[in-house]
Structure 1
Amino acid sequence: MRKFSIGDRVTVRNATTMFHTRTQAYTRGRTGVVVEYRPEWVIPEDEAWGRDDGRREPFYVVRFRQKDLWQAYTGFDADTLETEVSEHWLEPER
């Protein structure tokens, strides 16, 4: 069962980790919209250690307005960035 659906507004957890993660620091604490669901895969924190038997979870493609990511962004209001985030990094919009 999926935790989030296409169109859900989600916030990336503002957490730190000592291990590898694909969750970019500039998305942490920011809110975006789920635009795509990806099947389960080994989470990056385990994959980086070569653990093919590591923890698996779904990933979501989340779209952010660039003005929400960078305060000094001077581009168009419609400019967006999409990135893939593993489920444990996401929570419902705050």
Structure 2
Amino acid sequence: MSRFEIGDRVTVREATTLFHHRTQAYTRGRTGVVVEHRPEWLIPEHEAWQLEDGRVEPFYVVRFHQRDLWPDYTGLELDTLETEVAEGWLDPAGEVTQ
């Protein structure tokens, strides 16, 4: 069962890790909107270390306004970026954990 629905506002955790991850640094601490559900997949950190424990998590496509990602962005205000984010990196907007 997915924790987030299409249209939910989510914030990417401002976390760091010494291990492999698929969450871009420029999205951390930023808020966007879920626009698509993706299939569950092995937890990226587990996959990188070949931990074949079968643990999976949902992924989401999250849309960000580029001006929210880069304050000095000079493009159009309506320009967006979409990226996949694993559920473990997301919190409901306004409920950010460290």
Q: Deviations over 1:39-81 (max 9, x none)?
A: 2110110111123434210000000000000011000011100
User: Structure 2: how far apart are the matches of 1:89 and 1:6?
Assistant: 17
Where does 1:59-74 land on structure 2 (aligned, <5 Å)?
59-74=59-74
- In the superposition, the TM-score normalised over structure 2's length comes to 0.91
Gaps of 5+ in 1: none
The AA in structure 2 aligned to 1:61 is V
Letter in 2 for 1:87: E
1-10 or 52-61, larger mean C-alpha shift: 52-61
Residue number in structure 2 paired with 1:40: 40
SS in 1 for 2:38: strand
Report how many aligned residue pairs link the two structures. Answer: 94
**Alpha-carbon RMSD:** 1.0
Unaligned stretches of 5+ in structure 2? none
Moved over 4 A (4+): none
Shift of 1:2: 1.2
Match of 1:77 in 2: 77
Task: Report the alpha carbon displacement of residue 16 of structure 1 after superposing the two structures with TM.
Answer: 0.4
